[in-house]
Every structure is written in C-alpha cells, then in structure tokens.
C-alpha cells in the first residue's frame, strides 16, 4: 500500500465532521444551542465552506481524471452536502437556487460514477463549474473580470 504523508491523509476528514455536526440535529430548528445560536444556521464562516467546496470539486475532478471512482464519488457526495450547508448562509431565493443546482449536479456526478458512466459524470461536473461561475458572478464581489480572486 502506498504511504501517504500525514498532512495529505487527514484533510478530507474535516468537512465530514462539519457535515456530521450540522446533520446531527434533526429536531425543531427553532431550538437553540447552549450559546444561544439557532441550530438551523451554519456555525462555520461561509469562506470556510467555500474553501471546502473548491477542494471537494478539485478532488472530484482529479478522481474523474485518474479514473479513481471511489475518490470521485466520495468528493461528489461531499460537495452535495456542502451545498446543503452553504444554502443556509444566504436567505436569497436565487442563492438557494444556485445551491440546489450545485447539489443536484454533484449527486448526478456521484450516481454517474457509481454507474461507471464517465461521460455523464464529466458533463455533470461541467454543469457544476457553470453553476459555480454563475453564482459567483452574482454573489461574489471579490473577483476580477476573469473570475480570479485578487492576490494577497
């Protein structure tokens, strides 16, 4: 078995813990945590969730390129869950629609990979990219005209 550096081994677990923490509560969303925060709102900053969106999307595409079904499917499912979380960061119906589209296309990729339909997985991945660009165009104001974030 190939040895992977410890820094590369653990990074993917963080979003799973984040998703699990948010999914653990299934009761009345109006209930409050001990610190007074509502439990139906995300606790991580949106920038953190978007960082993991980007990582999961990149890893999903890397899995597709390397024909690593497990990696592609795992990251597609993670991206779908992150879309669920991110939809809670903005009350705009348009923002929620983009998150729903992202989730739908990520599930399509995961299902296509599991069915070994590479063409459909790649087509759905392209739709994810288009959805992200459209959402960022409307809701992000920290990018230049090429869609690039300004440097440090």
Q: Which of 16-20, 112-116, 136-140, 142-146 has the highest mean pLDDT?
A: 112-116
Higher pLDDT: 141 or 25? It is: 141
What would the DSSP string read from start to end of 28-88?
-TT-B-TTS-BTTS-SS-HHHHHHHHHHHHHHHHHHHHTT-HHHHHHHHHHHHHHHHHHGG
User: 93: domain range?
Assistant: 47-140
Mean pLDDT of 95-106: 96
Mean pLDDT of 78-103: 94
Q: CATH no. for residue 63?
A: 1.20.120.10
pLDDT tens sequence across 15-25: 666 666 555 54
Higher pLDDT: 140 or 105? It is: 105
State how far the Cα of 123 lies from the Cα of 108, in Å rounded to an integer. Answer: 9
Instruction: Classify residue 79: in a domain, yes or no.
Output: yes
Average pLDDT along the chain: 81
Residue 1: per-residue pLDDT: 39
Mean pLDDT of 45-74: 95
Question: What domain count does the chain have?
Answer: 1
Instruction: Classify residue 125: in a domain, yes or no.
Output: yes
Instruction: Classify residue 132: in a domain, yes or no.
Output: yes
**Comparing 57-71, 94-108, 109-123, 137-151, which segment has the lowest mean pLDDT?**
137-151
Mean pLDDT of 52-66: 96
């Amino acid at each position: 078995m190939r040895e992977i550096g410890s820094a590369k081994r653990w990074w993917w677990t963080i979003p799973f813990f984040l998703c699990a923490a948010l999914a653990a509560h299934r009761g009345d969303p109006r209930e409050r945590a001990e610190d007074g925060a509502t439990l139906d709102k995300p606790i991580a900053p949106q920038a953190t969730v978007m960082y993991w969106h980007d990582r999961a999307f990149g890893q999903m595409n890397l899995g597709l390129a390397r024909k690593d079904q497990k990696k592609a499917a795992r990251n597609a499912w993670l991206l779908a869950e992150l879309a669920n979380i991110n939809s809670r960061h903005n009350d705009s119906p348009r923002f929620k629609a983009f998150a729903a589209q992202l989730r739908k296309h990520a599930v399509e990729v995961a299902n296509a990979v599991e069915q070994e339909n590479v063409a459909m997985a790649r087509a759905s991945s392209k739709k994810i990219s288009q959805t992200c660009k459209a959402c960022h165009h409307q809701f992000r104001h920290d990018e230049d005209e090429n869609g690039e974030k300004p440097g440090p």
